[in-house]
């Protein structure tokens, strides 16, 4: 029985590690400037944790193979010195690995979160709610209208609580349900939530950011490939969470200009 277990354990270990190493189920194509660094970090993490995973499972299989059936007269073999030092060693090893990975990974994290957006970035304001995303562009005047939370009303399409009657800057704000951006241009998002925690996730951008009520959360990226990509909410935000999604549409600059102009109604 012990030998059979050792064989099955070895097969499961090697096959699952092989599937990950071969990137059989992996992230979709990367379309952001930060993507290659994130992917490399992910690979490094997988190699470091993979070595620990493979060695621990294979050592376990070897031990079970060798000692699993030897229960002569009910005698149980113990590791010299007991299991305490071994457990201590394993905890220290995993702890050091997590610390090192966090330290190395923090550089990529900082490149996204600790650096300011480019000065020429296109600013898009994002509102998340149960169960939709809305995107707002400043319009031809380049200024966003002021948000009045008490004016937010889905019934008349005032998702951002604007007051166009009294606020000139709000009159030309463009509000849409699809995040449309020009390719190769830095994009700066500010995101807020109307009701509860949501999350902005675009696997192709390698970006996932929680949106918390009461905060205006910044995020910046540059998309490098035109196309249409799915935006999904990855925080369980209520009964309709499964349907909370939108699209990121990356267009060549001239097509984007045309699109924005048509939305502004000029």
Which stretches of the chain bind Cu ion, using CB under 5 A? 198, 233, 237, 244
Cα→Cα distances 207→157, 173, 185, Å = 28, 26, 16
Q: Please, what is the minimum distance in Å from the beta carbon of residue 25 to Cu ion? A: 24
**What string of H, E and C letters represents the secondary structure of 67-125?**
HCCCCHHHCCCCCCCCCHHHHHHHHHHHHHHHHHHHHHHHHHHHHHHCCCCCCCCEEEE
User: Which residue, 62 or 236, is less far from Cu ion as judged by CB?
Assistant: 236
User: Which residue, 144 or 201, is less far from Cu ion as judged by CB?
Assistant: 201
User: Which residue, 139 or 194, is less far from Cu ion as judged by CB?
Assistant: 194
Tell me if residue 128 falls in helix, strand or coil: strand
**Class of residue 191 by CB neighbours under 10 A (exposed 0-12, middle 13-18, buried 19+):** buried
Pairing of strands 179-182, 174-176: unpaired
Q: Please, what is the minimum distance in Å from the beta carbon of residue 209 to Cu ion? A: 12
Of 133, 119, 130, 8, whose CA–CA distance to 60 is shortest?
A: 8
Q: Please, what is the minimum distance in Å from the beta carbon of residue 233 to Cu ion? A: 3
Q: Please, what is the minimum distance in Å from the beta carbon of residue 128 to Cu ion? A: 6
User: Which residue, 73 or 214, is less far from Cu ion as judged by CB?
Assistant: 214
Q: Are 200 and 215 within 8 A, CB to CB?
A: no
Q: Are 192 and 200 within 8 A, CB to CB?
A: no
Q: Please, what is the minimum distance in Å from the beta carbon of residue 234 to Cu ion? A: 8
How does 8-33 read in b/e, with b if 16+ C-beta sit within 10 Å?
Answer: ebbeebeeebeeeeeeeeeeeebbbe
The residues near 243 (Cβ < 8 Å, ≥ 6 apart) are: 131
User: Which residue, 125 or 173, is less far from Cu ion as judged by CB?
Assistant: 125
Q: Please, what is the minimum distance in Å from the beta carbon of residue 212 to Cu ion? A: 12
User: Which residue, 34 or 244, is less far from Cu ion as judged by CB?
Assistant: 244
Going edge to edge, which strands form the sheet with 245-251? 179-182, 245-251, 227-232, 198-202, 207-211
User: Which residue, 174 or 191, is less far from Cu ion as judged by CB?
Assistant: 191
Q: Please, what is the minimum distance in Å from the beta carbon of residue 129 to Cu ion? A: 8
User: Which residue, 125 or 129, is less far from Cu ion as judged by CB?
Assistant: 129
């Amino acid at each position: 029985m012990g030998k059979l277990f050792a064989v099955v354990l070895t097969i499961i270990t090697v096959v699952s590690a092989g599937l990950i190493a071969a990137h059989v189920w992996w992230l979709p194509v990367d379309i952001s400037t930060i993507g290659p660094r994130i992917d490399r970090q992910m690979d490094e993490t997988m190699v470091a944790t993979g070595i620990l995973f493979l060695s621990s499972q294979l050592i376990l299989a070897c031990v079970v193979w060798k000692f699993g059936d030897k229960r002569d007269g009910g005698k149980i073999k113990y590791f010299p010195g007991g299991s305490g030092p071994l457990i201590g060693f394993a905890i220290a090893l995993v702890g050091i690995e997590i610390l090192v990975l966090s330290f190395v990974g923090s550089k990529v994290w900082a490149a996204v979160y600790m650096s300011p957006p480019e000065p020429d970035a296109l600013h898009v304001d994002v509102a998340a709610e149960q169960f939709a995303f809305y995107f707002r562009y400043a319009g031809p005047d380049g200024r966003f209208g002021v948000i009045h939370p008490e004016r937010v009303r889905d019934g008349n399409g005032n998702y951002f609580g604007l007051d166009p009657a009294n606020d000139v800057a709000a009159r030309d704000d463009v509000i849409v349900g699809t995040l449309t951006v020009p390719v190769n241009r830095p994009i700066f998002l500010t995101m807020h939530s109307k009701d509860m925690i949501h999350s902005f996730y675009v696997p192709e951008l390698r970006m996932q950011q929680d949106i918390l009520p009461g905060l205006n959360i910044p995020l910046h990226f540059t998309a490098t490939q035109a196309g249409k990509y799915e935006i999904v909410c990855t925080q369980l935000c209520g009964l309709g969470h499964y349907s909370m999604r939108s699209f990121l549409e990356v267009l060549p600059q001239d097509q984007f200009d045309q699109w924005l102009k048509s939305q502004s109604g000029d």
